[in-house]
Amino acid sequence: MGVDRNVDKEMKLFLRIILDICIAIAVLNGWWPIAIILVLIGAWFFKLYIEIIIAGVAYDALFGMTHGMGWRGYEGTIFSVVLLIVVKLLKKLVR
Amino acid sequence: MYIRTSKKPGQEHARMAAYIAAGIVIVIIAVQLLVPHFLPSIFTTITRPFWRMEFSVGSGSLESPQALLAENESLKTQLAALNVQQQSVQAVVNDNSELLALLGRTDASSTTVSSLKPIPGIILAAVLVRPPQAAYDELIIDIGADHGITLGSKVYAPGNILIGSTTDILGQTSKVKLFSSPGETYYVLIGSSRIPATAVGRGGGQYQAEVPQASKINQGDTVSDSSISDAPFGIVTAVLANPADPFETVLFAPSVNIYQLRWVLIATSTKK
């Protein structure tokens, strides 16, 4: 029983790492629609999916955060925080 | 008695997520306020090798030396072909300018309707063979019966200068005998007094005519066609006078160099 739980945990961790790598590739290539889909999947299936915020910050750091852009330079960060909260609330409602 | 010592794990996770998210946002704001370029430089430094690798793969830097050499060779060949093509384009541009000038359009950018109208009764022809390549002061042009050229059609050099007439019409080429052919004669009017004379061809685009001594023909006078068209025929280059002779010899030549003719205009029946 305990062994099964460990295997399940390891598998989840492995899948999470794979998903993180995919998100990282999408973010560094600027493929934001793909990144959004992937982070939504991650936020829905994994607990405490903090990678979503890292992805948002990374996206802004690479393509935003420029002096003249104002708040639009932080869209990725803001969006990721909002997304994390919304998915968390939805999960609470559904489950 | 049950004493509740901890909250639900789900609530703990939610709270932890909120704390972490809030913490990250606060850290980002603080870092951005204190060191504005810190986060972009960190992430760019991490990402740069991946971007470089992607660029290298995209530009073929990771290909084998043989493949690169082959590509280099191919590019050199393409460059040589493009150079040849560029020269062809330049030749076409030169031809276009020459044609525009020939048709009275000195401004190549002019697109007015009148400037684009074809001139009625005029057909443009390219000179395929010219003196001295062709003997007997003859031109061979690139249009013939296929363009409705008829025997005896007058041929004009750029500037509407009458230079000859068609003598042989073939399917897609014609022969033009220049009036300057040795022995050829043509009636002309010389000078401002319009002294009538018979121009006799001397070859090489040169003419001579005999006019009375009192005609007062001078070097530089114009010679024109005696027909109603009054087309320019040539310019007097010399006047040879012999006091013992009642006539003086006028030598003249067209203002264009027949050895450099590339285009001529062929008059059809409507040309006046």
Per-residue pLDDT of chain B (272 residues; tens, 9 = 90+): 455 555 555 567 667 777 877 887 788 888 888 887 788 888 878 887 887 777 777 766 777 778 888 888 889 888 988 888 888 888 888 877 777 776 655 544 444 333 334 456 788 888 887 777 666 678 888 888 888 888 888 888 887 888 888 887 877 778 888 888 888 888 888 888 888 888 898 888 889 898 888 778 888 888 888 776 677 888 898 888 888 888 888 999 888 888 888 888 888 764 44
Residue burial B55-69, b: 16+ Cβ < 10 Å; e: rest = eeeeeeeeeeeeeee
Tokens (6 digits) for B184: 């050829």
HSE at residue B167, side-chain half, CA atoms within 13 A, is: 14
| Per-residue confidence band for A47, with pLDDT thresholds at 50, 70 and 90 | confident
Q: How many residues does chain A have?
A: 95
Q: pLDDT tens digit string along B71-96?
A: 888 898 889 888 888 888 888 888 77
| B118 DSSP assignment | P
Mean pLDDT computed over every residue of chain A: 84
Measured distance CA(B102)–CA(B96) in Å, rounded: 10
Query: Chain A: which residues have CB within 8 Å of chain B?
Result: 28-29, 47-48, 50, 53-54, 57-58, 60-62, 65, 67, 74, 77, 81, 84-85, 88, 92
Please measure the distance between the N-terminal and C-terminal CA atoms of chain B and give it in whole angstroms: 127
Q: Domain coordinates of chain B in residue numbers?
A: 9-59, 120-272
Using the Cβ of B35 and the Cβ atoms of chain A, whether some distance falls under 8 Å is answered with: no
Measured distance CA(B22)–CA(B173) in Å, rounded: 89
Angle between helical axes of A32-45 and A2-28 (0-180°, round to 10) = 160
- Residue contact A48–B13, C-beta within 8 A: yes
* Shortest CA gap B24–chain A (Å): 8
Tokens (6 digits) for B216: 């007062």
Which among A28, A47, A61 is the nearest to B50, CB-wise?
A28
Sign of CA dihedral B93, B99, B101, B103: negative
* Shortest CA gap A27–chain B (Å): 10
pLDDT at B37: 77
Query: Within 10 A of B76 (CB to CB), how many other CB atoms are there?
Result: 10
Within 8 A of A47 by CB-CB distance, chain B residues are: 13
Measured distance CA(A23)–CA(B265) in Å, rounded: 72
pLDDT at A15: 92
Q: What is the pTM of this model?
A: 0.45
Measured distance CA(B247)–CA(B108) in Å, rounded: 48
Q: Are B163 and B264 in contact (CB under 8 A)?
A: yes
* Shortest CA gap B61–chain A (Å): 20
Which among A47, A57, A67 is the nearest to B39, CB-wise?
A57
Helix (H/G/I), strand (E/B), else coil: B106? coil
Nearest 5°: phi and psi at B248?
Answer: -120, 150
| B248 DSSP assignment | E
Measured distance CA(A87)–CA(B10) in Å, rounded: 13
* Shortest CA gap B63–chain A (Å): 22
Q: How far is CA B159 from CA A11, B88, B97, B255, B257, in A?
A: 90, 27, 15, 9, 12
Nearest 5°: phi and psi at A22?
Answer: -60, -40
* Shortest CA gap B10–chain A (Å): 9
Tokens (6 digits) for B134: 């062709």
Q: pLDDT tens digit string along A54-85?
A: 899 888 888 877 666 677 778 888 888 888 88
Picking from B16, B25, B46 by the largest number of A CB atoms within 10 A of its own CB, the best residue to mutate is B25
- Residue contact B17–A48, C-beta within 8 A: yes
Picking from B24, B35, B53 by the largest number of A CB atoms within 10 A of its own CB, the best residue to mutate is B24
pLDDT at B270: 47
Quick one: how far is CA B242 from the chain centroid?
A: 50
- Residue contact A53–B14, C-beta within 8 A: no
pLDDT at A22: 94
| A45 DSSP assignment | H
Using the Cβ of B93 and the Cβ atoms of chain A, whether some distance falls under 8 Å is answered with: no
B120-272 has CATH 3.40.50.300 classification: no
- Residue contact A28–B47, C-beta within 8 A: yes
* Shortest CA gap B124–chain A (Å): 60
Within 8 A of A65 by CB-CB distance, chain B residues are: 32, 36, 39-40
- B167 burial (CB, 10 Å; 0-12 / 13-18 / 19+) is middle
